Structure formats: C-alpha cells, structure tokens
Amino acid sequence: EAQLVESGGGLVNPGGSLRLSCTASGFPFSSHAMNWVRQAPGKGLEWVSSINTGSVYMYYADSVKGRFTISRDNAKNSLYLQMNSLRVDDTAVYFCARDWAGNAFALWGQGTMVTVSS
C-alpha cells in the first residue's frame, strides 16, 4: 500500500529552524513529483512547495520563498523541507503530498505539527 509518513515537527522559537522529513513506501518514489502543503490551526489548506523527480525544478509559495528549501533523496525514498527564519504564522500541520500538475496531491501523509512560539 502506498504511504507517506512525515516527521520532524515540534516547537521552535521565532527565527529558528526546523527540518521536516517525509518517508515514502509502497510506490516508486523516484518516479513521482512531491509537495508540501500546510494547514494552520482551524484554517484551510495552503500549498507550500513542490519538487520534480530529479530535483531540477523547485517551486515555492511567496510566503516561504527565501526561507524554506525543498529537497529529496530518491535513494532514501525521502522528501525534506528545511525551514529557516521561522515566523509565528508558519505554525501549521505540514503535509507531504504526491504528484503535481494535472494529477496533483493524489496521496497525502498524516502530517506533522510545527509550532513557532516564544
């Protein structure tokens, strides 16, 4: 069964950094583009970032551009999100999701909570 499992969330001070991971299983990870989507407490869904299969193309929401970096390691079936200069409004559950463009977000993980607070 295809599955995505996020990890790495936690409590961090404003201005701090955190690295999220997403481990894939049950499908050929290297053949699928991947994404991060977040959801602030009680709010809707917000796309954060996307990366293609070969890590050539990366895209970011304006709200995180210059602060977050998406990457992947196909040998480890893993997707990452390096988050720097964190702000209070980055507080959210972060989901990884598979596939993009016309087949966007076909599969989701369970999410990992990031809380930015002093």
Partner 1 sequence: DVVMTQSPLSLPVTLGQPASISCRSSQSLVHSDGNSYLSWFQQRPGQSPRRLIYKVSNRDSGVPDRFSGSGSGTDFTLNISRVEAEDVGVYYCMQSTHWPPYTFGQGTKLEIK
- What is the smallest separation between the CB atom of 42 and partner 1, expressed in angstroms? 10
Q: 72 or 98, CB closer to partner 1?
A: 98
Please tell me the distance from the alpha carbon of residue 87 to that of residue 15, in angstroms, as a whole number: 6
Q: How far is the CB of 45 from partner 1 (least distance, A)?
A: 5
Closer of 56 and 75 to partner 1 (Cβ): 56
Could you give the dihedral angle defined by the CA atoms of residues 25, 46, 38 and 3, in that order, rounded to the nearest 10 degrees? -10
Which residues form the interface with partner 1 (CB under 8 A)? 35, 37, 44-47, 50, 59-62, 95, 100-111
Shorter beta-carbon distance to partner 1: residue 4 or 116: 4
- Report, in Å, the least distance between residue 40 CB and partner 1: 12
Residue 69, strand partner residues: 82
> What strands lie across the sheet with 68-73, from one edge to the other?
3-7, 18-25, 78-83, 68-73
